[in-house]
Chain A
Amino acid sequence: MNPFSSGTRLRDMIRAIRSCKTAAEERAVVRKECAAIRAAISENDQDYRHRNLAKLMFIHMLGYPTHFGQMECLKLIASSGFPEKRIGYLGLMLLLDERQEVLMLVTNSLKQDLNHSNQYIIGLALCALGNICSAEMARDLAPEVERLLQFRDPNIRKKAALCSIRIIKKVPDLAENFINPAASLLREKHHGVLITGVQLCTDLCKVSSEALEYFREKCTEGLVKTLKDMANSPYAPEYDIAGITDPFLHIRLLKLLRILGQGDADASDCMNDILAQVATKIESNKNAGNAILYECVGTIMSIEDNGGLRVLAINILGRFLSNRDNNIRYVALNMLMKAITVDAQAVQRHRATILECVKDSDASIRKKALDLVYLLVNESNVKPLTKELIESLEASDQEFKGVLTAKICSLVEKFSPEKIWYIDQMLKVLSEAGNFVKDEVWHALIVVISNASDLHGYSVRALYRAFQTSTEQETLVRVAVWCIGEYGDMLVNNVGMLDIEEPITVTESDAVDALEVSIKRLNSDLTTKAMALIALLKLSSRFPSCSERIKDIILQNKRSFVLELQQRSIEFNCILQKHQNIRSALVERMPVLDEATFSGRRAGSLPTSVSTSTGTARNLPNGIAKPAAAPVADLLDLSSSDAPAPSSSGGDFLQDLLGVDLSPASAPPGTSQPPKAGTDVLLDLLSIGTSPPAQSSSSASNILSSIQDDKASLVNLNGLASLTSLSPNATSASPAPMMDLLDGFGPSPQKKEENGPAYPSLVAYESSTLRMTFNISKQPGNPQITLIQAIFTNLSPNVYNDFLFQAAVPKFLQLHLDPASSNTLPASGNGSIIQSMKVTNSQHGKVCTEFE
C-alpha cells in the first residue's frame, strides 16, 4: 500500500482545518491535502478514493478550486461497490453542474445503474439524474426512467416520478410519454409516491396542454376523493404534523386541483365541497395549518367563481392580515395582490389594515403593502390614501423613502381630481422627501402650476412658506425659486388670494432674500443656482426698487469657477446695465406650457411640439429687422444643445431663386407644422404677391438657432433682393425652452433628441411649375452647421435649361453652396437636380430679437 495515499482521515483533516487560526494557515493545510489527493489520483489509488473524494468535497465547500477531482467522481461511480457509488454520485452532484461536458461521460454508468439489481443503487442513479441531468442525458435515459415508474418498490417509484419532472422540464417533447404512468401513480396509497405523483402531474399540466386536458377529464374526481379521505382520515402518527395528517399532501393536492379547475366550470364544481370543508375545518394556530389554508385560498381565488367560497377565502385573508405573525401577514398581502384582479371590492374593505402595514417595521411587509396600496387606489379613495401614504413617508427610513416617493408621485399625478389638491400634495412630498423626487416629476409640477393661472398666487405663496421651513430639499428649493421668479409680484401683492389661505406679508426684499439664500446655500447645486440667477433677473424687472441689490447679488457670481454661473452672471449683469429697455420684454411672464405636449414629450411620442402661446402675440414687422443687440443673452438655454429636435426645421431662411420663371406666387411652403396661433411672423421680402404675414404663423425661428421663445422671434432678412422668400415654419415649442430653463446645463435627459437630428424634409417652394424640397440635417456634435440638401423637381412640361439656384443669407450666417448635380432639369418630374448647401450659424444658440 502506498504510504502516501493513506493520508489523514476525513475527520482529522476537518479538525486540522478548523483549528487553523489564520487564513494563510488554512490555505497551507488545504494545499498539502490537495497535493496528497492529486498524487493519489495520479497513482490511481483504489482504496482511499472515496475518502479522498470526501476530503475534496469538504475543500470545495470551503471555496477552493477542485477541478482535478471531477474524473475521480466518474471512476468512483464506475466502480462496483455501493459505498464508492454513493460517494461518487454525491461528488458528481456537488462538484459538477449540468453545463459541464464531463457530465456526458456519466451517461453510460447511469444507464447501467438504472438497471442494477440493488435497488439502492437504482435510487442513487435516479437521484443524481434528477438533480443535474442535462437535456441530452434526459433524452437518452428517459425510457429507463419511464420504466422505473412502475417498479415494484415504492421508494424507487417516487424517485422516478421526481426524476421525470426534471426530464420533462428539460425536454418538453417527452411529456406525452409520461402522462399515462403519471395518472396511474395518482391511485397509489403510499404517501411518498402519491406526493411525487401529484407533483409530476402538476408539472405535466404546466408543460403540456394535452396532459392538462387528460388529467382534467380523468382524474379530477379521483383527486377530490383522495383529498377528502385525507381530510377525514384518523390520526396517523407517521404523517402527522401539528395534528394534521400529511399537510404536504394536502397542499400538493390543492395545487393540482387549482390547475385543473382554472378556467373549467365543471372541474371547479367538483371541488367546491372539499374546498369549503378544508377552509373551515383546518385549524390555523400552527404553521402547517396556515400553509394549507393559504394554499386553499389560492385555489379558491383561481378557479371559477363561486360566491360563497370567495367570501370565505377573503375572510380567511382578513384574519391572516390581522395576525401578529409577520409571515402570515406577508403571505396575506401576497394573496391579496392576486385577489384584487378577482374581487377588488372585497380587498378595499381591508384598506385600513393594509395601510397599517405600510408603516410596519419589517421591510418585506412594507414593500408588499405599498405595492398593494398602489393597486387599490382609484378616484374615490385617492385623497385619504395619499394622506396616509404621506404620513408614512415621514416615518420611513431612507431606502424606503425613495420607493415610496416615486409611488406617491405617480399616484398623485394619475388620480388627482383637482389642481389645487395636486399642488398641495406635491408640496408636502417635496418638503418631506424632495431629494428623492425625480426630475420629470418636478418638471411636471411646474407645468401644472403654470397652467393653473388662478392658482399662481396660491402656489407661489405656499412655496414661499414651505421654502422657509425646509431648505434642505433641493427640488423644493428649485420649484420655489422658479415660482418666486415668475410670480414674485403676486407674492408681494397678495394677488389671487384664496379663501383658505392665511394672509402673509412678503416684501420685495423678502423675496429677494429668499433667492439670495438659495444661491448662497452650501448644498445648492448648479441647477438651483442657475435657476436662482434667472429668477433674480426676472425680479429685477418686476421689482425695480430692488434692482441695485439684485445686481450686486448677480455680480457676486461673476468670478464663479463654474462656467455656467459665470456666464449667466455676466450676461445678466450686462442686461441690467445696458439694456434696460429690453429687460422687461425679455423677462415677461412665460407663456403657459402646454400640458398635453409636455406629457407627450415625456412619453417620447410627440415628434414636434407646438406651443400654444396664450401669451402675448406679437406681430413682427415685415422685413427689416435690426440686428440683435449684442451680446444677446440666451435666456433660455445657454448650452448649445440641440433643439428639440424633431421640430421642424423652422425656418427662416431665405433663398433666392433666379433664373427660373417662377410666378411670383410665393405660395407658402408646405410647412410641416400646423400654424400656431399667436405670434406671427413673416418673412418675405419682395412681396411680389406674397401672402400676408400670417402665414404659418408661428414664431419664426432661425432654423439654426436651437431654442426659440415666442417673444423673441426672429426674422431677419435684410436687404436681400430676391424674389420670393419663404415663411418660416413653426418652431419648437416652448416645452422645450421649459426644459432647458430648468435644466440649465446641457441637454436634459428627457429630451430624446439625438444630436444630429433629422428634421423632416420641407417642401420649400412649390408652384405649378417647380418644386423645391429641402432635406435638412445637422451634424452630430456640430450644431452650428446645418446641411441642406435641395432637390428641385420640374413640374411643368418644359425642360429647364441652365437652371441655377442661388441663395442669400443674413450676415451672421455663412453659406456654402456645393455645385449642383446638373444644370438641366428634365420635364414633368422625370428627374431632379440635387444641390447641397452648408449653412453655419455664428450665433448659434442665441436668440435674436429685434424691435422697431
Chain B
Amino acid sequence: MIHFVLLISRQGKVRLTKWYSPYSQKERTKVIRELSGLILTRGPKLCNFVEWRGLRVVYKRYASLYFCMCIDEDDNELEILEIIHHYVEVLDRYFGSVCELDLIYNFHKAYFILDELLIAGELQEPSKRTVARLVAAQDSLVETAKEQTSSITNIIAQVANTASL
C-alpha cells in the first residue's frame, strides 16, 4: 500500500501531503524534512527510487514539483510511477495545463481529486474520464448549493431591509 503522498516544490515547500498510515504530527514534520533532504539532492539521471527506513519512496519530478509516494518493499515501483502519472494527468485535465500555482491556490481541489484516485493507499479508479466526471459532478453540487444560499440570503436581506423600513 501507499503509506503517504507528498508534493514538494524544488525549494522544499510542501504543497500537498496525504497520510494513509498513522503518523503523528511531529513524525510527519520529521518525515517531510528527511525526505526533502534525501530527494531534492538527487541528480537528474538517477533512478526514481530511494530506500528509506525500510520502505521505498518513489518520486517523479514534474517541472518544479516532486511527487513522492512511499510504498512497501514488495510493491511494484514501476506501477507507482504510473499512478503518479495518472494523477498528474487528471490534474492536468481538470485545471487545464496545470502548473504549481494552480495547486497552491486550489489545494483543496487537488485533495478532492486525490481522494477520487486513492483510498486507504490503494488505487481506486483507472479511468481518467471517470475521475474527472465524478469531481465535476461534486463541483456542480457545490455550485448549486452556493447559488441557493446566496439567493436565500438575498431574499432574507431584502426582507430584513423592508422590515427595517
Q: Given A81-B145, A131-B119, A238-B129 in contact, is the A54-B108 Cβ separation under 8 Å?
A: yes
Given A61-B107, A239-B126, A294-B76: A97 touches B120 (CB 8 Å cut-off): no
The answer, yes or no, to whether B35 is at the interface (CB within 8 Å) is no
Residues of B within 8 A of A255 (CB): 76
**Which residues on the A side are within 8 Å of B79 (C-beta)?**
247-248, 251, 291, 295
Tell me whether A162 and B124 are in contact (CB under 8 A).
yes
**Contact pick for B123, options A18, A131, A248, CB 8 Å:** A248
Which residues in A have their C-beta under 8 angstroms from that of B111? 90, 94
Q: Is A11 an interface residue (CB 8 A)?
A: yes
B124 touching A86 by the CB < 8 A rule? no
CA distance A131 to B51 in the complex (A): 24
Q: Is the CB of A163 within 8 A of B47?
A: no
Bound Cα distance from A131 to B17, whole angstroms: 13
B112 A327 Cβ-Cβ under 8 A: no
Cβ contacts under 8 Å, B49 to chain A? 327, 330, 364
CB <8 Å contact, A82 and B127: no
State how many angstroms separate the Cβ of A364 from the closest Cβ of chain B. Answer: 6
Q: Mark B93-127, 1 if CB is under 8 A from A, else 0.
A: 00000000000110110011001000110111111
| CB-based contact B46/A362 at 8 Å | yes
Question: CB within 8 A of A364: which of B23, B47, B129?
Answer: B47
Nearest-CB residue, chain B, relative to A158: B124
Q: Does A599 belong to the interface (CB within 8 Å)?
A: no
Q: B150 CB to closest chain A CB, in angstroms?
A: 11
Is A159 positioned at the interface, with any CB of B under 8 Å from its CB? yes
User: What are the residues of chain B within 8 A of A57 when measuring CB–CB?
Assistant: 107-108
State how many angstroms separate the Cβ of B111 from the closest Cβ of chain A: 6
Q: Does B30 count as interface, using CB distance less than 8 angstroms?
A: no
B82–A163 contact, CB under 8 A?
no
Q: Mark A284-302, 1 if CB is under 8 A from B, else 0.
A: 0001101100110010000
> Which of B50, B78, B83, B127 gathers most chain A CB within 10 Å?
B78
Is the CB–CB distance between B146 and A83 below 8 Å? yes
Contact for A192 among B20, B86, B124, CB less than 8 A: B124
B126 touches A364 (CB 8 A): no
CB contacts under 8 Å to A, within B1-25, are 14-20, 22-25
Smallest Cβ-Cβ distance to B23: which chain A residue: A97
Interface centre among B25, B119, B128 (most CB of A within 10 A): B119
Q: Residue on A with the closest CB to B76?
A: A295
Q: Interface 1/0s, chain A 152-163, versus B by CB < 8 A?
A: 000100110011
Q: Known A86-B112, A238-B129, A247-B82; judge A97-B77 contact (CB<8 A).
A: no
B86 — which chain A residues lie within 8 A by C-beta?
Answer: 241
Query: Are A165 and B82 in contact, CB atoms less than 8 angstroms apart?
Result: no
Residue A99 CB within 8 A of the other chain: yes
Which single residue of chain B is at the shortest CB-CB distance from A87? B108
Q: How far is the CB of B83 from chain A (nearest CB, A)?
A: 8
| Range of interface residues on A (Cβ < 8 Å) | 35 or more
Asked if A246 lies at the interface with its beta carbon under 8 angstroms from chain B, I say yes
Q: How far is the CA of A58 from the CA of B17 in the complex (A)?
A: 11
Decide yes or no whether A191 CB sits under 8 A from chain B: yes
Which residues of chain A are within 8 angstroms of B20 by Cβ–Cβ distance?
131
Residues of the A chain whose Cβ atoms lie less than 8 Å from the Cβ of B142: 82-83, 86
Residue count of chain B within 8 Å CB distance of chain A: 53
Known contacts A99-B24, A287-B78; A326/B47 CB under 8 A: yes
**B137 interface hit (Cβ, 8 Å):** yes
Q: Mark A184-214, 1 if CB is under 8 A from B, else 0.
A: 0000000110011001000000000000000
1/0 per position for B35-57, CB-CB distance to A under 8 A?
00000000001111111000000
**Cβ-based interface call for B31 (8 A):** no
Among A57, A58, A120, A192, the one with the most B-chain Cβ atoms within 10 Å of its Cβ is: A192
A329 and B47 in contact, given A82-B141, A248-B79, A248-B126 (Cβ under 8 angstroms): yes
Beyond A251-B76, A294-B78, is A165–B122 a contact (Cβ under 8 Å)? Answer: yes
How far, in Å, is B55 (CB) from chain A's closest CB? 13
Say how far B65's CB is from chain A's closest CB, in angstroms: 14
Q: Which residue of A lies closest to B51 (CB)?
A: A364
Q: A18 contacts B125, CB within 8 Å?
A: no
- What's the nearest-Cβ distance from chain A to residue B58, in Å? 9
Assuming A127-B119, A159-B124, is B138 touching A14 (CB within 8 A)? no
Interface mask (B75-91 → A, CB under 8 Å = 1, otherwise 0): 01111011100100000
Determine whether B29 belongs to the interface, using a CB cutoff of 8 Å to chain A.
Answer: yes
> Judging by beta carbons under 8 Å apart, are A291 and B130 in contact?
no
Shortest beta-carbon distance from B117 to chain A in Å:
11
Question: Are B78 and A127 closer than 8 Å at their CB atoms?
Answer: no
Are B119 and A159 in touch, CB under 8 angstroms?
yes
Residues 357-373 of A contacting B (Cβ, < 8 Å): 361-365, 367
Instruction: Please give the distance in Å from B36's CB to the nearest CB on chain A.
Output: 12
Quick check: is B155 within 8 A (CB to CB) of the other chain? no
How far, in whole Å, are A159 and B108 apart by their CA atoms in the complex? 20
Q: How far is the CA of A87 from the CA of B78 in the complex (A)?
A: 33
Q: Does A542 contact B (CB under 8 A)?
A: no
A162 smallest CB distance to B (angstroms): 4
Pick the most buried of B16, B17, B105, B126: most chain A CB atoms within 10 A of its CB.
Answer: B126
Contact of A97 among B24, B119, B149 (CB under 8 A): B24
Task: Name the A residues within 8 Å of B46 (CB-CB).
Answer: 326, 361-364
B159 near A: Cβ within 8 Å? no
> Complex Cα distance A328/B127, Å?
25
Which chain B residues lie closer than 8 Å to A191 at the CB level? 125-127
- Per-position contact with B for A237-277: 1 when CB-CB < 8 Å, else 0? 01101000011110100010000000000000000000000
The answer, yes or no, to whether A63 is at the interface (CB within 8 Å) is yes
Q: Is A326 within 8 A of B45, CB to CB?
A: yes
Q: Measured between alpha carbons, how far is A81 from B108 in the docked complex, in Å?
A: 17
Known: A238-B129, A362-B47. A61 touches B17 (CB 8 A): yes
Give the residue name and chain of the B residue nearest to A90 (CB): B111
State in angstroms the CA–CA spacing of A290 and B47 once bound together.
Answer: 15
A591, CB-defined interface residue at 8 Å: no
Which residues of B line the A interface, CB within 8 A?
Answer: 14-20, 22-25, 29, 45-51, 76-79, 81-83, 86, 104-105, 107-108, 111-112, 115, 119-120, 122-130, 134, 137-138, 141-142, 145-146, 149
Q: Can you spell out 5 A-B residue pairs with CB atoms less than 8 angstroms apart?
A: A120-B137, A191-B127, A241-B82, A361-B46, A362-B47
Q: Using A97-B22, A247-B82, A362-B45 as known contacts, list a sample of 4 further A-B pairs with CB atoms less than 8 Å apart, ordered by residue number in A.
A: A83-B145, A86-B138, A246-B126, A327-B78
- Across the A-B interface, give the 3 residue pairs with the lowest CB-CB distance, nearest first: A291-B78, A326-B47, A162-B119
